[in-house]
Amino acid sequence: MQRQNDRYLRALQCQPVDCTPVWMMRQAGRYLPEYRQLRAKAGDFMTMCKNPELACEVTLQPLRRFDLDAAIIFSDILTIPDAMGLGLYFEQGEGPKFKNPITNFNDINKLSIPDPEIELTYVMDAIRLARKELQGKVPLIGFAGSPWTLATYMIEGGSSKTFTKIKKMLYSDPASLHLLLDKLAESVALYLNAQIKAGAQSIMIFDSWGGALSHRSYLEFSLQYMHKIISLLERGTRGPSYTKDYVPVTLFTKGGGLWLDKIMQAGCDAVGVDWTVDLSTLPKENIAIQGNLDPTVLYADKVTIKNNIDLILKEFGPYNGHIFNLGHGISQDTPIESVEVLVNTVHQLSKRDHNGES
């Protein structure tokens, strides 16, 4: 019988492990040739997302190549706005766009809260299928975008570098923006609870664009709503020792180093950090830390990759509660060999800091 690898879940609860667990944001994606082949066969990105069998297959692909300690369900953060009727589509080389972006209070007022087992059932079906296929090999991560990040796409109509439209609403019509964020928080909480019910064993909330906000605005328009989501999640009760059925939550704000102390007070079990953060300065033991290799290090030679991994492991030190990850998603042209070096090096070097049982 295959032994269950639960070191990722143990690390999230700051429990002893035999070595530091590792997974990568966007680990199921375009850097893998088998992913590119499947996407070409499927025709487009959303077809893959909305087909549970294809989504499950993509979820499992990186685990066949690398000794990763967690799988993350293949989906997209913009499934909720799409289910709200904004008409999500992807243009070649330009990323996600919406046919019906939000422009005013009336647009927001008309938005309905999606039922995750109706409008988003394809995600739940993919989770159920992936859990079955994984057979306990590693835990499965479910996820959603933060309300602020979802709102940026919904108001900007797609990706943005300046966030002019949403910031205009933030300062000129904050009541409307708060209404939108409140609806999104409710939608995300329902969505994540459905993922937990379907079999997700850990939850991650991606706040990709929180770092674009001012200090006060981040607390009011981003962190407040992530805190609300966490308070609504049905994830069990965490005990003083490893609690197998507890569902931990990780918050990740890219560019959020300024607010880490506030993020740690939002009710999450772990905080994801990007490569700008010095892990040696962070609290240890009571909250887990995920991160934080710069993804571009993986373009370097093996020695450079290993040295950078070693520096991060030494920065964190011989404590429980570290999940090794990149500081953001893996780049699509990352060499496969570099990923193998990353995973194996983390496991090998981190054994010096651990003597627990995974």
The H or E element containing residue 274 is: none
**Burial level of 107, CB count in 10 A (0-12/13-18/19+)?**
middle
Locate the DSSP E strands across the chain: 71-72, 88-91, 95-98, 140-145, 202-207, 249-253, 270-272, 288-290, 322-323
Closest among 235, 274, 269 to 249, alpha carbons compared: 269
- SS3 for 34-59 is HHHHHHHHHCCHHHHHHCHHHHHHHH
The DSSP call for residue 158 is B
Catalytic residues: 26, 30, 39, 76, 153
Closest among 304, 256, 259 to 149, alpha carbons compared: 256
Amino acid of residue 222: S
Strands 95-98 vs 88-91: parallel, antiparallel or unpaired = antiparallel
Q: How many CB atoms lie within 10 A of CB 243?
A: 16
CA distance 344 to 326: 15
